[in-house]
Chains A and B, each alone.
Chain A
Amino acid sequence: MVAEPPGFFAGLFRSLVRGIAKLGAAVLFLGDILRSSPYALRRPRLLAEQVHNTGVLSLVIIMTSAFFVGMVLGLQGFDALARLRQEDLLGAVVALTLLKELGPVVTALLFAGRAGTAIASEIGLMRATDQLSAMEVMAVNPVGRIVAPRFIGGVIALPLLAAIFSCIGIFGAWFIGVAVLGVDNGAFWTQMQEFVSTEDVREGVVKSIVFGIAASLIATFEGYNCPPTAEGVGMATTRTVVTTAIVVLILTYIITALLL
């Protein structure tokens, strides 16, 4: 056991040690997943099923949110730009905001709420009902059979969802800006094409891939290591959402600082 300083700091110190241990366990778990991912990649049917579960089933919430986020961006952006007499820049502002930041981040947060919780509770319930142990008894590697397909499915689905989010968001902003508030249609698109570069698109794609890895890892890790009780499964789903939100918001800052 590590030596403990007395009093208030003892608790702080212990939770710090616990947090670092958890981070280490998650990294080791990622290693486990990667080691058994050839097993999952050889079974495209399992993968397709998980892409369906994480991607297709998240599509409605992603598209609805994207359209409204886009409309809000259109309204707020128009209001701010109108004060500067630069309404024509609306397309560029909205596209940059969505592509570089809001698209990947909001998609990752919604993904954690829709798909991450589903993965965590599903694996957690398998743990609680001893299905994972049963697999081990039958010499089936549960990480390869259960965890890896869900992880890879999430990593594939999230970047695609983020791209769809950005597209729909841009059309939402176009609807408010051009169709309702009367920004010039040509200016909206040409200003966007003038100011958005391929690097901006690449930054968004890199972010969404990293978030896909982070969100899927957190969901599968929390589910796989949850206490085998009803309460444990509930806590695992809650922790999935909270941890993903914090990790994604920290990661987006780090990636932006690195790529800018």
Chain B
Amino acid sequence: MQVQAREIGTGLFVFLGFAALLFLATQTTGLDEFFEDSGYSVTARFTEVAGLRPRAPVTMAGVTIGRVESIRFDRYRLDAVVTLRIRSEYDTIPEDSTASILTAGLLGSKYIGLTPGGADESLEEGSEIFLTQSAVVLEQLVSRFLFGGGE
């Protein structure tokens, strides 16, 4: 009986340890996106992505509705092609919505904000967002202000 109790204790401890690991790996990290990787992907072209990273949030009205899946460089058109994966429940986003690269706070991380357009058709798997607004590079903004190159 003594041995029995000890074995139950040990088994319980190991189980508890792995349960804790599982909790840390899934609940504290933003891992949920891996599980619900369904959604649909759309592309958008930007002339400047300055500091945008894969897995950056895609937001509309301030709510995260997806993630940046990949960023690659188009060697013919010399611009950046960003693939966005948007959760499948948000399937009513107008086709002519505008994608802008924004900054959280003054110097924070970059994310993509979608501003709704007015078209009847919605974005779907494989469609492209044509209206885009590139990232504002702070150095360019400052130098334009300082040296008056804005006219």
Question: Chain B, interface size: which category?
Answer: 20 to 34
Contact B13 A163 (CB under 8 A): no
Interface string of A151-177 (1 = CB under 8 A from B): 000001101110110110010000000
Contacts of A166 in B (CB 8 A): 20, 24
Q: Give CA–CA (A14, B75) in the complex, Å.
A: 66
Contacts of A51 in B (CB 8 A): 10, 13-14
B9 to chain A minimum Cβ distance, whole angstroms, is: 5
Contact B20 A196 (CB under 8 A): no
Q: Give CA–CA (A48, B6) in the complex, Å.
A: 9
Contact B20 A167 (CB under 8 A): yes
Question: Chain A, interface size: which category?
Answer: 20 to 34
| Interface of B: prevailing SS | helix
CB nearest neighbor in A for B12? A56
18 A-B contact pairs sorted by A residue (CB < 8 Å): A49-B6, A49-B10, A51-B13, A55-B17, A59-B13, A59-B16, A99-B24, A159-B21, A160-B18, A163-B20, A164-B16, A164-B20, A167-B20, A167-B23, A193-B29, A198-B31, A200-B29, A205-B21
Q: Within residues 168 to 197 of chain A, which ones have a CB less than 8 A from any CB in chain B?
A: 170, 189, 192-194, 196-197
Contact of A170 among B7, B13, B28 (CB under 8 A): B28
- Tell me whether B36 is interfacial, beta carbon within 8 Å: no
Interface contact tally, CB-CB below 8 A = 75
- Tell me whether B139 is interfacial, beta carbon within 8 Å: no
Asked whether A201 and B28 contact (CB < 8 A) given A52-B9, A55-B10, the answer is: yes
- Tell me whether B25 is interfacial, beta carbon within 8 Å: yes
Residue numbers of A with Cβ under 8 A of B are 48-49, 51-52, 55-56, 59, 95, 99, 156-157, 159-161, 163-164, 166-167, 170, 189, 192-194, 196-198, 200-201, 204-205
Q: Within residues 1 to 47 of chain B, which ones have a CB less than 8 A from any CB in chain A?
A: 6-7, 9-10, 12-14, 16-18, 20-21, 23-25, 27-32
> Which of B10, B16, B23, B24: most chain A Cβ within 10 A?
B24
Asked whether A201 and B13 contact (CB < 8 A) given A163-B20, A164-B20, the answer is: no
CB nearest neighbor in A for B22? A163
